[in-house]
Structure 1
């Protein structure tokens, strides 16, 4: 009897939790559904509530043919892929050194790297711009790529992941005469595919959606990244919101695909690295 009473008490709680979860999910998905519906509305019905009087592809056709959206997407892809590849290589080597090598000041260096997470981009924006200008990297892919490579979170996540790899595997390689670099290349990297895959998704999404630094570092229209290019559709007095929304949907397709492909590795890396 007591067990039946407890089960009866739990069911209403589960129902309330499910209701709250559905409500939160609905509030989260509602703006996305509104965005998708509005993209297929005529321009004069963008802010009219309800379903469109007719479906049209004019908005998507316009952003694909009348503005260089393809060029913007290409620039974002080049920068995002380059930053992701270079950052994964450098971050993995730095994380391996902080996880396995024993040298004076290791903990201090790691603490300094982690402390940079407290510094936001607007704080260093002016000195970063001055440095890039002195190096002659403005209006170039290098000026967009190099400042975005370093990120303390990548080093932190990989270091935590490497600490969970058994040292016995590397000790066996040490007996075969493998140095630190060969251990990292032949043993650690193959075992850290979930962490590397999850970081690649995070780095790609972060650089694809970058706006402030690409806006400041480039003046050449041919070097505009996709988020900066979409912002040019908004004027001072008149904004073509139906075109802005259509360009946003087109630009979001690569990010959605990247997340769908890498979400499993993202969850695995968070679980195995000890992050809560």
Structure 2
């Protein structure tokens, strides 16, 4: 009986530990979204496609399309060059140490704003010589626990990039790499707690679109910001150039100067990339 009790107690502790770890891994959306419905939608979406190998690679000159990415020094991003050789890669190490950097290591001015700091730094540094297509991507390749938001078979960013229609990016200007509306764009998520009217005004203050969007929503008596998560998207060069360089410098300065934390400032930008690149708030 004593052994049975010990076994039950040990099993209970392990189960609780597993649930705590799972919650930690899913913390990006656990407290904001209906996790059960999300997992169901994600599971269905993962298996409604064919195998990864069946997805064609779209042709294009290597020098005319680029993947922009932020990574921690410990993260291995060799999969980009190996699996997507027809793309340029601008991979920024956000937490470099002197003994691991070289003259060719791309770094960001500060480590704040999550991937947004790298995204904006690339646009600012290369504004005068951008390739035709820019894709902004996370450093993980695949797997549900790290890449749950990658809307492709097996949550694989390689599959997502191989399936990307470059002509559609050029036609549309901005394309979210996630098609699943949950989380981020379903009706219940559009009353966005991160992008309040005050935060919106602060982010766009001093830019070429200061006051736009916010005034219209306030006139209508609604405040809704919605887009499918999670800061992985593609844009055309022409769409980037619709904003002056100073706008992107201002967005980056906001991340540096805001009292919002690293995570929260990055989350604000996550919900605003579509607006930055010319789309409506919802």
TM range (shorter): under 0.3
Higher percent of residues as strand: 2
- Pick the structure with more helix per residue: 1
Structure with larger RCO (C-alpha < 8 A, sep 6+):
1
Indicate the structure (1 or 2) with the bigger Cα radius of gyration. 1
TM-score by length of 1: 0.27
TM-score between the two structures when normalised by the length of structure 2? 0.26
